[in-house]
Amino acid sequence: AAVEQLTSQRDELGHEQDLAGELLGSIPQLLWTVDIESNRITYASPGTQAFCSEEMEAPIPCFFRIPGSERERVLTAWQQVIDGDSVQLEIPVSNEEEGDRWYRMAFYPTANRRGRVLRVHCLMEDITELHNDRERLEQMSTQDEVTGLANRTLWYDRLATSLAVARRNPGASVAVMVLDINQFKMYNDTLGHEVGDELLRKIAERLQKVLRDTDTLARLGGDEFGIVLPMVQDAEKAAERVAREVMSSLSAPFTFQGRELCLSSAIGIAVYPQHGEDSHSLASHADSAMYRAKWNSAPFLFFETEVDASASEHLQFSGQLHGALEREEFELHYQPMIDLSSGRICGAEALIRWKHPQQGLVLPKRFISVAEQLGMISPITDWVLDTALEHSKHWRVDGQPVAISINVSARSFQSPGLISGIRQALAKAGVDGSHLEVEITEDTLMSDLDLGASILEQLRELGVSIAIDDFGTGYSSLSYLKRLPINTLKIDQSFLQDMANDPRDAAIVRSIIELGHNLNCKVIAEGVEAQIVREQLKDLGCDLVQGFHISKPLPDAGFREWLSHSTH
């Protein structure tokens, strides 16, 4: 009976050992046990044997697959284990078939009662996917997804490091540069985000070529890039050289889908320690200088303490503009257009004004470019359309059917939503396109003539008239006129100011009138401020006039009153 019991227990034990072996062989981790006294591996799971093949050296079976740079770290960890500590570390291990993979290695010592370590149980787990995921997350936190450049976070970190090094090296300087790509948003809006992203990548490639390996180039967001030039002895000279090289690198057109896209940049520069001693101050001052360069159409400018105080005022102005539409701070004023042959009103130009809470009535030349930079110009254009057509509907009810003319900025003109916005505004007001005229400048039209021609053709199909504003002040070639469905040429007021006294101005005006009539276009002179100029324009055959001689721009109520009392 005793023999049978022992046999049964032996069988059960063997079965349990088989189960344990089966379990240990099925788990993905590699397991082995090292006897410290003999320095031999006394147990290795089947997975470990398969992984290490014949390289079962103690204490680490795959020791020679570990890169040489990591082996010292592993041996140091093993010594800690011999001293009785449990240790975990992550290491790369070479694999002939799959290349380097990452493993988490854990050592758990077993000691006797006196604390002497007798054996160590070792576990090794493949964490390659986890390691790669962590690297991707870390990369995402410091790298711009579109360009692969450093992002704002890493840029600030590199700037802080550069400043710390400069402080320890007397005479060393750091230059901080912020640059904005002037035409990017227009192309991104009109050609699509895929083209915009590819354009950003090509810009990044060109910028990297003008920088040293030790410099940092980052995309700070949108179309704004940042550069850090560390450890330079003459930071202003170095920054000016880089700024000129940046300008040169961006001067050649970028080609996409058969189109040539031309870009320029505005660059602001701040230098340590002259313009600031910490990352935030230098970045902020470079940003202010960049905005000043942008306003002044300068390629690059250095920070100037007194001058750049205006930059902070501009930022405040921009912030106030951002909510002006929601706060209903815009209003339209209307300036009548008079037919010179009959003296009757035949249209009105809608001119936007901003009722600024502190500065009073602000003219569009002060805020339209800012609105374009803020991405507000499309909703403002939609508001102008809706409001002007709604007002004109009231005038028709009063018995005064006056057509409306609105100005469209370059960015609005090339916006994909312009045509649909005009179509919706006409439908909402219950009028057809003949009640509306769109005014654009020559420069707007010529920035992309093919696109401009397509947009004008779509406007013509809606019945909307097209006027070229400030004619004669922009593009030098007139060959484009015969290609486009243009209805009106507007003579810029600069040609009218001395027309009565300067025969050359009179000759220019006469030529524009004759050109317009030969193209079957109406010609209107804007900025007429004197009766003598009005009479001279009539003698030259000009069709329409507008200006303070007729009436200053009036708000809706004032314009309706002017209409009711007008004898024109």
DSSP code per residue over 335-376: EEEEETTT--EEEEEEEEEEEETTTEEE-HHHHHHHHHHTT-
What residue ranges of the chain are covered by domains with CATH 3.20.20.450? 323-565
Using the predicted structure, report yes or no on whether residue 344 has a pLDDT greater than 60.
yes
Which of 60-64, 436-440, 477-481, 541-545 is predicted with the least confidence, judged by mean pLDDT? 477-481
Whole-number pLDDT of residue 202: 95
Query: Using one digit for the tens of pLDDT, what is the confidence trace for 417-453?
Result: 899 999 999 999 988 899 999 999 887 887 777 888 8
Whole-number pLDDT of residue 126: 87
What residue ranges of the chain are covered by domains with CATH 3.30.450.20? 22-132
Whole-number pLDDT of residue 39: 86
Give how far Cα 431 sits from Cα of 148, 392, 458, 487, Å.
Answer: 50, 10, 17, 19
pLDDT grade for 4, boundaries at 50, 70 and 90: low
Q: What is the pTM of this model?
A: 0.53
Closest to 355 (Cα-Cα) out of 321, 405, 384: 321
Using the predicted structure, report yes or no on whether residue 54 has a pLDDT greater than 60.
no
Whole-number pLDDT of residue 522: 95
SS3 467: strand
Consecutive H or E run containing 561: helix 556-565
Average pLDDT of the chain is 85
Residue 335 pairs in a beta bridge with 349
Q: What per-residue string of b and e applies to 138-163 under the rule 16 or more CB within 10 Å gives b?
A: eeeebbbeebebbbbebbbebbeebb
Q: What per-residue string of b and e applies to 304-341 under the rule 16 or more CB within 10 Å gives b?
A: eeeebeebeebeebbebbeebbeeebbebbbbbbbbbe
Using the predicted structure, report yes or no on whether residue 26 has a pLDDT greater than 70.
no
The rounded Cα 522 to chain-centroid distance in angstroms is 41
Query: Using one digit for the tens of pLDDT, what is the confidence trace for 204-253?
Result: 999 999 999 899 999 998 899 999 999 888 889 999 999 999 999 998 88
Determine the Cα–Cα distance for residues 238 and 343; give it in Å rounded to an integer.
64
Place of tokens 């101005």: 505
Share of the chain above pLDDT 90, in %: 41
- C-beta pairs of 530-537 under 8 Å, 24+ apart in sequence: 530/500, 532/500, 533/496, 533/499, 533/500, 534/340, 536/499, 536/500, 536/506, 537/340, 537/496, 537/509
pLDDT grade for 3, boundaries at 50, 70 and 90: low
SS3 301: strand
Residue 120 pairs in a beta bridge with 34, 109
Determine the Cα–Cα distance for residues 267 and 566; give it in Å rounded to an integer.
52
Place of tokens 């058969």: 258
Determine the Cα–Cα distance for residues 412 and 459; give it in Å rounded to an integer.
14
Using the predicted structure, report yes or no on whether residue 28 has a pLDDT greater than 70.
no
Determine the Cα–Cα distance for residues 335 and 524; give it in Å rounded to an integer.
13
Q: Where are the beta strands (DSSP E) in 484-557?
A: 488-491, 522-526, 544-546, 554-555
Determine the Cα–Cα distance for residues 546 and 489; give it in Å rounded to an integer.
13
What residue ranges of the chain are covered by domains with CATH 3.30.70.270? 143-317
Query: Using one digit for the tens of pLDDT, what is the confidence trace for 150-191?
Result: 999 899 999 999 999 999 888 889 999 999 998 888 888 878
Whole-number pLDDT of residue 207: 96
Contact residues for 255 (Cβ-Cβ < 8 A; gap 6+): 261
Whole-number pLDDT of residue 554: 95
SS3 211: coil
Using the predicted structure, report yes or no on whether residue 351 has a pLDDT greater than 50.
yes
Whole-number pLDDT of residue 568: 47
Q: Measure the CA angle with vertex 32, ends 31 and 33; round to 5°.
A: 140
Consecutive H or E run containing 333: strand 330-339
Using the predicted structure, report yes or no on whether residue 359 has a pLDDT greater than 50.
yes
Mean pLDDT, residues 447-469? 89
Contact predicate 432/426, CB 8 Å: yes
Architecture of domain 323-565: Alpha-Beta Barrel (3.20)
Closest to 422 (Cα-Cα) out of 395, 401, 399, 440: 440
Contact residues for 315 (Cβ-Cβ < 8 A; gap 6+): 291
Determine the Cα–Cα distance for residues 544 and 522; give it in Å rounded to an integer.
8
Place of tokens 């815009």: 330
Determine the Cα–Cα distance for residues 277 and 306; give it in Å rounded to an integer.
18
| Superfamily of the domain at 22-132 | PAS domain (3.30.450.20)
Q: Where are the beta strands (DSSP E) in 132-264?
A: 173-181, 216-221, 224-232, 254-256, 259-261
Contact residues for 142 (Cβ-Cβ < 8 A; gap 6+): 150, 151, 153, 154, 157
Closest to 330 (Cα-Cα) out of 384, 411, 265: 384
**In this structure, which topology does domain 143-317 adopt according to CATH?**
Alpha-Beta Plaits (3.30.70)
